[in-house]
Structure 1
Amino acid sequence: MLVAEILKTKGDAVFTISPDETLAGAASQLVERQVGALIVCENDRVAGVLSERDVVRALAREGAAALGQPVRDHMTAEVVFAEPGEGVSALMGRMTDRRIRHLPVMKDERLCGVISIGDVVKCQIEDATREAESLKNYIVAG
C-alpha cells in the first residue's frame, strides 16, 4: 500500500505549531488534539517535529522550567519525510532504523499529511489479514 492510499483513508489533517510556542502550549495541544506529535512550521516551511518523547526528554533534563521554553529548543530539527508514492514497507524500515514514530508527508514541497507508526502497523495487519483470507479461500475451494 502507498502513503497516498493511507492518507485517503485517514485524512490529510496536519496539526502544526510555531517554533516560538512554549513547550507547555505544545503539550496542551498534544492532549487536546489527541496526537503524538506536532509538525513545527515557520513561514510555511517544516522546521521540525515535536513529539511526546521530546516533551518528556525536556522535562527529564530541565524539570518544570522546560515548560516555559520555546518549542524550537526541544523539537527534532532533522526531519525525515515521506512522499505520497512511497510504499509502507519502505516507511517501516525508515521508521525502525531511525527510531521515529511520525513522518510528515511532502508533495511538491507542500506538507500534505502525516503518517504515524500506528498507521503503518494498521496497514500491514490489514494486508496480512487479507492475504490470509485469500489463502484460506483458495485452499477451501480446492
Structure 2
Amino acid sequence: MLVQHVMGNKPVNAIWSVTQDNTVFEALELMAAKNIGAVLVLENDLLIGIFSERDYARKVILQGRGSRDTLIREVMTSKVITVETDDKIEECMQIMSDKHIRHLPVNQHGKLIGIISINDIVSAIMHEQKEHISTLESYISGSPYS
C-alpha cells in the first residue's frame, strides 16, 4: 500500500498550519479545534517546521514556558522529514519508528499536499488486512472441501 492510498481517505486540502510568528497557544487552539496532534509551520506556502503535542510537552511545559507568550519559531521542530505519495506505508512506519515521530508531511511531485499520522497508517493497514481476511474467507467457503 502506498501513501497516496492513505491520503485518499483524508479530506482534500486539509493542511492545518500556523506560521512561525504564531504563539504556541494559537497553535494549540487550532489543534484542539481540528482534533489533531500536530500542525505544519508554513512560511509563504513553504514547509519550515512542524509543531506537535510532543513539542509542547517537552519544549514548553517542561521548560516552564507560557504558551501565550512563546512563539512557534522557538519550539517547533525545523528538521522535518517528509514522504512522497508513491512511498510505501511500510517505509513510513519504519521512519516513524526509527525517528520516534508520529506525523509525516506528504509531498506530491515536490508540492506539500497534507500530512499522515501513525493512526492513519494503522487504520489503513487494518482495513487492508480485513479485506484480505474477507477474501480468504470467501475463497475457503467456496472450496469443495468446506
Q: Under TM normalisation by the shorter chain, which class is it?
A: over 0.9
**C-alpha displacement of 1:18:** 0.2
C-alpha contact 1:59 1:67 (8 A) present in aligned 2: no
**C-alpha displacement of 1:6:** 1.8
- Kindly indicate which of the two structures has a greater share of residues assigned to helix: 1
C-alpha contact 1:59 1:66 (8 A) present in aligned 2: yes
CA RMSD of aligned residues (A): 1.4
1:27 counterpart residue number? 28
**In structure 2, distance between residues paired with 1:106 and 1:64:** 33
Aligned partner of residue 40 in structure 2, secondary structure: strand
Q: Residues 105 and 86 from structure 1, CA distance in 2 versus in 1: closer, same or farther, beyond 3 angstroms?
A: same
1:103 counterpart residue number? 104
C-alpha contact 2:21 2:71 (8 A) present in aligned 1: yes
TM-score by length of 2: 0.90
Amino-acid identity (%): 32
Gaps in structure 2 of 5+ consecutive residues: none
TM-score by length of 1: 0.92
Gaps in structure 1 of 5+ consecutive residues: none
C-alpha contact 1:106 1:112 (8 A) present in aligned 2: yes
1:10 counterpart residue number? 10
1:120 counterpart residue number? 121
Instruction: Give matches, 1:44-55, under 5 Å.
Output: 44-55=45-56
2:72 counterpart residue number? 71
Aligned partner of residue 62 in structure 2, secondary structure: helix
2:84 counterpart residue number? 83
- Segments ≥4 residues shifted beyond 4 Å: none
**C-alpha displacement of 1:93:** 1.1
